[in-house]
């Protein structure tokens, strides 16, 4: 019976979305177009090959049918899938009458009710999903191609497999989620430890056979001034008699949780069961499909008054673990029943998550995770319809030498919902009997010290809460965004479900943060989610949201590409550059040339850790790095904007971050280092192992640097006189040093290795930089050129981003035999055909700067080929979709 009419019904199913959205063929290949064009390129929805059989089945059944009833999930995603099915079926039989079944659980009563109360599909829900898919496709594809082509060939990045390079993906939800993880990690690194002191008072009342204890808290909390704290403590010691000034008591209640929605289910499963959000949703979906719980994707946390909750409780009365409690709930004499609380959220589609069928001791095919999650859902539901726990709290206030203290005691008088909801606790503590005016001598009175601690890494429950609060993703997609962080090697999760960014994740956020454009912040995505919700409610159109959102993100993309060098510089702080890094690649500044400068300061190295705020620019971080060729240095993360650098002696063989920080350093405390030197390479008056050394203000460390001939910090804290400035020349320091030590260098210039002494395979391959100045409408950028040995003696270059005259690039140390390249003359004003001709030392190689700001670096002795140009015929003047061979 359908709508009270008899009928013959044929049932079939689909697996997720039947269609997928993609670009048309000329724009699908990575090198076929400028990533900027993806914001406007045509898109379409098509059925993938693996689901062609489903399409055939739907069309065959549609031709034999008069009505189509859509039984898809009753949320926005389900509605979009319903429209995909409807589109396929109507293409085979346009006379079909289409209806929509609305239900919340796969149980008899819900299914029969839906069959007799059919509705119509909601086009607003489907449009909202289409808008989200198109926005995510355009933003994700453009930024992913931009990042990957810009960075993949420049740096030695972690790879998911030996035969596959890492795709540096970008997602409008994925990156703000990563931003939360990185921001908390930076909060931890930037935490300033401060000592504090507090007076602690304890009184033990001996009443055999029991002893009752009262722990009194100081009303002042804790003080950061030791002298003041010690003075007040001495006053208490001189007059230790405590006088009870007040004894008060009142009833306290601990309320049960609100009904369960999707986000809260994931948070509680993570906190109580140590289950990941992805695993939680997978298990919840399987329990729903088996009919044991309601639809698991809902924002609602309040039950409608019409819902028969007592019937649901009655179903659980036979369970051996919580059946007795369910029976007590239904007993009027127990006075345990209470109407559930209202969490204030209702998506108008589904009720809160609740059990729909009883399982006595779990089903045979259930895993331990199925049993634990089902138990959590049942116990949570039973708790929501229970009375709160009741207790009596006593507060005792005392006075010692004018200082106020207080203690709290709690006696639980009725546990109520705590009897079934074992995940909550309410600790009872009994105090001794006190009366106002009573005097006693404390058993213990001491001045305790401690140090402030940084916040912990984000747990999965914390991360879900932040995403929910900021509007990042939906209840059905949050777990996917978290999983992608792990799959993309942007973050790791430890055994305590706490997240820490990987060097790649931190570098990407740092690069975008240095641009000043908060693409890693949640604001932009939150606006998108708000607009898509308005589409689903019919308050905005799909076309309006697409136009507004893509206009804003396209501007952000263009801004990011103009400042792409900041992204490169950020990655250079964490990863080694590849030998193929020639400054080419899309969107860059100058071309590769015939061999540019060698290892610039940002040229790679493994990051040991962030030490704290840079003492020179006071805005970025000072980062400790181990250089690829060995040795250590500390440099500012905002290089080249700030060129603060401290080059460690070659005698240093190990450097790690110490637990201590230097409080004298400004603008904030700087992490001290644990250092281990080679005994034979340092003067005898210095110890080979030094713990907790501040490399900025430690006079002993500066003396050691001077003795070994390495660079000293160019900036010292204001609390101490600054060290003498480095000599203007780049020659050796005049002081004595071991003959094996490298010469002293200006902090802005790393120590050099002569080309004649460098290993043959490194000549002409070291990473370096050449600047590119934009002319006309072009934007400024930085290219890269390679050549010389570890570092060339000079790197000069003038490039052009939008046609016009090519620059001149000279590279390679003259003494090192590095190759030299000379820029030819491009056609001024030639628009997109303008470019630059580059002649390398090993032959004539041509690179062009396109009007779309994509750069193809030369492939001379050191320059690596760029990514721009047609991959079909090799012509750098057009993309592959414009190629005559493809017409």
pLDDT tens per residue across span 698-722: 888 888 887 776 544 444 333 333 3
Q: How far is CA 360 from CA 143, 272, 378, 544, 654, in A?
A: 51, 22, 12, 52, 60
* CA atoms within a 13 Å half-sphere pointing along the CA-CB vector of 187: 13
DSSP 789: S
CATH number at residue 446: 2.70.20.10
How many angstroms separate the CA atoms of 648 and 655, rounded? Answer: 10
Question: Same domain for 619 and 706?
Answer: yes
Highest mean pLDDT among 445-459, 645-659, 779-793, 818-832: 445-459
Question: Taking the chain, what is the end-to-end CA distance rounded to the nearest angstrom?
Answer: 57
383: pLDDT strictly greater than 70: yes
Each residue of 808-839: b (16+ CB within 10 Å) or e?
ebbbbbeebbbbbbebbebeeeeeeebbbbbb
**Domain edge (last residue) among 564, 590, 616:** 564
CATH number at residue 362: 1.10.290.10
For residue 510, how many other CB atoms are within 10 A of its CB?
27
pLDDT tens digits, residue range 277-308?
A: 999 999 999 999 999 999 999 989 999 888 89
Question: Same domain for 226 and 307?
Answer: no
Domain containing 534 equals 135-190+456-564
Question: Same domain for 436 and 504?
Answer: no
876: pLDDT strictly greater than 60: no
Give which of 599, 564, 633, 503 is closest to 156, Cα–Cα: 503
605: pLDDT strictly greater than 70: no
Give residue 165's pLDDT band: very low, low, confident or very high (50, 70, 90).
confident
Question: Same domain for 61 and 150?
Answer: no
- Domain annotation covers residue 765: no
CB 783, CB 811: distance < 8 Å = no
Beta-bridge partners for 846:
837
Give which of 437, 397, 443 is closest to 213, Cα–Cα: 443
- Domain annotation covers residue 617: yes
Region of poorest pLDDT, from 126-140, 412-426, 624-638, 782-796: 782-796
How many angstroms separate the CA atoms of 442 and 461, rounded? Answer: 42
DSSP 724: P
Beta-bridge partners for 155:
577
CATH number at residue 93: 3.40.50.140
161: pLDDT strictly greater than 80: no
**Domain edge (last residue) among 694, 728, 749:** 749
- Domain annotation covers residue 25: yes
Mean pLDDT of the region 109-136: 91
Helix or strand or coil: residue 187?
Answer: helix
- Domain annotation covers residue 11: no
- Domain annotation covers residue 815: no
pLDDT tens digits, residue range 669-693?
A: 888 999 998 887 888 888 889 999 9
Q: If you compute the radius of gyration of the chain from its CA atoms, what whole number of angstroms results?
A: 34
Mean pLDDT of the region 744-773: 34
**Domain edge (last residue) among 564, 587, 616:** 564
Question: Same domain for 117 and 155?
Answer: no
Q: Put the strands of the sheet holding 652-662 in their side by side order.
A: 652-662, 670-677, 689-693
Question: Same domain for 230 and 87?
Answer: no
Determine the pLDDT at residue 697: 84
pLDDT tens digits, residue range 314-342?
A: 999 999 999 999 999 999 999 999 999 99
pLDDT tens digits, residue range 429-458?
A: 889 999 999 999 999 999 999 999 999 999
pLDDT tens digits, residue range 338-362?
A: 999 999 888 877 899 999 999 988 8
Residue 366, both tokens: 């259930």
Mean pLDDT of the region 185-193: 90
Question: Same domain for 167 and 211?
Answer: no
Question: Same domain for 108 and 46?
Answer: yes
CA trace torsion 686, 687, 689, 694 (10° rounding): -50
Determine the pLDDT at residue 722: 39
- Domain annotation covers residue 829: no
Q: Using DSSP bridges, classify how beta strands 43-46 and 689-693 pair: parallel, antiparallel or unpaired.
A: unpaired
* List of residues 6+ apart from 32 with CB closer than 8 A: 26, 871, 879, 880, 881
Question: Same domain for 360 and 271?
Answer: yes
Q: How far is CA 419 from CA 97, 253, 389, 424, 428, in A?
A: 53, 15, 9, 10, 15
Set 170, 288, 295, 512: catalytic member? 295
Residue 593, both tokens: 């040339």
Question: Same domain for 374 and 430?
Answer: no
- Domain annotation covers residue 89: yes
Mean model confidence pLDDT for the chain: 78
- Domain annotation covers residue 106: yes
Question: Same domain for 359 and 488?
Answer: no
Determine the pLDDT at residue 766: 37
Question: Same domain for 605 and 742?
Answer: yes
Number of domains in the chain: 5
Residue 79, both tokens: 């509605």
For the whole model, what pTM was predicted? 0.65
Please say if 295 is a catalytic residue: yes
537: pLDDT strictly greater than 70: yes
* List of residues 6+ apart from 321 with CB closer than 8 A: 375
Helix or strand or coil: residue 408?
Answer: strand
Helix or strand or coil: residue 839?
Answer: strand
861: pLDDT strictly greater than 50: no
Determine the pLDDT at residue 710: 55
């Amino acid at each position: 019976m359908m709508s009270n009419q008899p009928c013959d019904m044929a049932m079939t199913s689909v697996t997720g979305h039947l269609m997928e959205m993609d670009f048309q063929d000329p724009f699908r290949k990575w090198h076929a177009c400028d990533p900027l064009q993806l914001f406007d390129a045509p898109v379409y929805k098509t059925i993938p090959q693996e689901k062609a059989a489903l399409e055939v089945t739907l069309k065959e059944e549609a031709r034999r049918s008069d009505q189509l009833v859509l039984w898809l999930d009753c949320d926005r995603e389900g509605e979009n899938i319903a429209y995909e099915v409807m589109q396929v079926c109507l293409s085979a039989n346009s006379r079909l009458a289409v209806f929509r079944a609305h239900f919340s659980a796969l149980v008899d009563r819900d299914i029969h009710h839906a069959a007799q109360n059919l509705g119509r599909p909601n086009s607003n829900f489907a449009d909202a999903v289409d808008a989200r898919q198109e926005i995510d496709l355009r933003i994700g594809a453009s930024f992913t191609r931009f990042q990957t082509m810009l960075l993949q060939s420049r740096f030695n990045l972690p790879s998911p497999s030996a035969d596959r390079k890492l795709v540096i993906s970008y997602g409008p939800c994925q990156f703000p989620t990563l931003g939360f993880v990185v921001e908390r990690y930076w909060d931890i690194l930037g935490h300033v430890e401060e000592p504090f002191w507090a007076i602690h008072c304890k009184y033990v009342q001996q009443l055999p056979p029991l002893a009752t204890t009262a722990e009194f808290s100081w009303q002042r909390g804790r003080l950061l001034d030791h002298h003041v704290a010690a003075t007040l403590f001495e006053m208490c010691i001189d007059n230790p008699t405590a006088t009870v000034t007040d004894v008060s008591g009142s009833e306290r209640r601990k309320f049960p949780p609100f009904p369960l929605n999707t986000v809260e289910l994931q948070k509680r499963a993570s906190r109580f069961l140590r289950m990941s959000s992805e695993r939680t949703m997978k298990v919840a979906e399987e329990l729903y499909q088996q009919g044991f719980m309601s639809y698991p994707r809902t924002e609602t946390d309040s039950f409608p008054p019409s819902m028969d909750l007592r019937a649901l409780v009655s179903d659980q009365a036979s369970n051996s673990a919580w059946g007795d409690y369910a029976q007590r709930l239904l007993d009027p004499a127990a006075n345990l029943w209470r109407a559930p609380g209202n969490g204030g959220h209702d998506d108008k589609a589904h009720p809160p998550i609740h059990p729909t069928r009883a399982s006595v001791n779990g089903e045979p095919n259930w895993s331990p995770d199925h049993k634990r999650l089902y138990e959590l859902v049942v116990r949570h539901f039973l708790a929501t319809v229970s009375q709160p726990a009741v207790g009596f709290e006593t507060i005792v206030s005392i006075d010692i030498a004018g200082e106020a203290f207080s203690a709290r005691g709690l006696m639980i008088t009725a546990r109520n919902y705590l009897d079934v909801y074992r995940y909550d606790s309410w600790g009872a503590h009994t105090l001794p009997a006190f009366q106002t005016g009573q005097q006693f001598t404390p058993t213990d009175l001491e001045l305790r010290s401690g140090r402030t601690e940084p916040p912990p890494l984000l747990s999965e429950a914390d991360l879900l809460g932040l995403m929910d609060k900021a509007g990042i993703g939906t209840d059905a997609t949050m777990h996917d965004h978290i999983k992608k962080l792990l799959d993309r090697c942007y973050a790791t999760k430890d055994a305590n479900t706490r997240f820490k960014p990987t060097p790649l994740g931190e570098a990407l956020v740092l690069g975008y943060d240095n641009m000043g454009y908060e693409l890693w912040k949640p604001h932009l995505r939150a606006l998108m989610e708000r607009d898509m919700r308005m589409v689903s409610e019919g308050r905005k159109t799909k076309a309006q949201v697409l136009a507004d959102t893509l206009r804003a993100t396209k501007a952000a993309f263009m801004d990011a590409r103009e400042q792409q060098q900041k992204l490169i510089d950020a990655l250079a702080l964490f990863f080694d550059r590849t030998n193929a890094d020639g400054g080419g690649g899309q969107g860059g500044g100058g071309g590769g040339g015939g061999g540019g400068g060698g290892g610039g300061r940002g040229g790679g190295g493994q990051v040991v850790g962030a030490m704290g705020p840079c003492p020179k620019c006071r805005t970025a971080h000072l980062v400790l790095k181990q250089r690829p060729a060995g040795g250590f240095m500390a440099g500012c993360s905002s290089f080249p904007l700030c060129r603060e650098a401290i080059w460690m002696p070659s005698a240093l063989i190990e450097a790690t971050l110490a637990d201590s920080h230097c409080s004298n350093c400004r603008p904030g405390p700087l992490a001290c280092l644990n250092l281990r030197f080679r005994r034979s390479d340092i003067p005898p008056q210095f110890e080979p192992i030094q713990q907790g050394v501040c490399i900025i203000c430690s006079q002993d460390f500066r003396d050691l640097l001077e003795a070994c001939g390495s660079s000293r910090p160019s900036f010292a804290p204001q609390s101490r006189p600054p060290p003498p400035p480095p000599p203007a020349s780049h020659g050796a320091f005049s002081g004595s040093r071991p003959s094996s030590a490298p010469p002293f260098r200006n902090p802005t210039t790393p120590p050099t290795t002569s080309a004649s002494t460098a290993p043959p395979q490194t000549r002409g391959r070291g990473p370096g930089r050449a600047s590119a100045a934009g002319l006309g409408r072009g934007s400024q950028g930085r290219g890269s050129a390679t050549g010389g040995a570890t570092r060339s003696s000079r790197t000069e270059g003038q490039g052009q981003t939008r046609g016009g005259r090519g620059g001149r690039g000279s590279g390679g140390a003259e003494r090192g035999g590095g190759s030299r390249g000379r820029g030819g003359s491009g056609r001024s004003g030639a628009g997109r055909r303008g470019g630059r001709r580059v002649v390398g030392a090993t032959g004539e190689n041509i690179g062009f700067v396109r009007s779309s700001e994509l750069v193809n670096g030369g492939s001379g002795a050191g320059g690596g080929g760029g990514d721009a140009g047609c991959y079909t015929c090799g012509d750098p003047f057009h993309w592959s979709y414009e190629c005559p061979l493809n017409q």
